[in-house]
Amino acid sequence: MRGTVWMGLGALVVVALLLMGAGCAPRATPTPTATPAEATPVAAVTPEVRIREVPFEQEWLSSAHADAKAEAFRHWDQESPPEIPVQCAKCHSAYGFLDFLGVDGSPAGAVDQPAAIGSVIDCVTCHNSATQTMDRVTMPSGVEIAGLGPEARCMQCHQGRASSQDVEKAIQEAGVEVDQVGEKLSFINIHYYAAAAIKYGTVAKGGYQ
């Protein structure tokens, strides 16, 4: 009986020593499964990222608005200083139109300073916080056309720069009667692509009546 007890105690001592040895032994450093150079590329394990498509991007790229080499955007490159004058910047520069809208922090409704060269009419120029609620436009004649939709942003530039009022003023300053030839009279240029003035005809008074 006593021998059996001693054998049992001896077995417990052996087990305890084995456990103590296991706890004190240095842990083996795990072998890396791959070196940094062999690691799986991040792109292969990250979720697929969908790039948002720009609506009508190809149509815009093929339009005059995107033509960075066009005279409409390069006319002032050789000026000193090379900048777009206030009277032209609104429609010939992204910076000028954003200035007109007041998006740059300046008062809305006017261009405050010449614009830098080198821009085109890009997406943000016409699609921003100011144009989202725009629903009216003032024509060169001074007539305001209201109740418009998204076309209001286009009509800000595609309205021409002259009207019936300019012709009347020229006639008065020349001191002549209507349809009378006068040396002080000269051609009045409505400017290019005055689609809005043409569309609204006698309302806009883009032509002389």
Which of 141, 185, 142, 145 has the alpha carbon at shortest distance from 162? Answer: 141
Model confidence, pTM:
0.71
Extents of the domains making up the chain: 56-132, 134-200
37-43, long-range: CB within 8 Å, 24+ apart, which pairs? Answer: none
> Mean pLDDT throughout 11-38?
46
CB 9 within 8 A of CB 17: no
Which of 95, 114, 91 has the alpha carbon at shortest distance from 105? Answer: 95
Query: What is the C-alpha to C-alpha distance for residues 191 and 64, in angstroms, rounded to an integer?
Result: 16
pLDDT per residue as tens digits for the range 105-133: 999 999 999 999 999 999 999 999 999 99
The encoded tokens of residue 150 equal: 């998204």
Residues of the chain above pLDDT 90, percent = 70
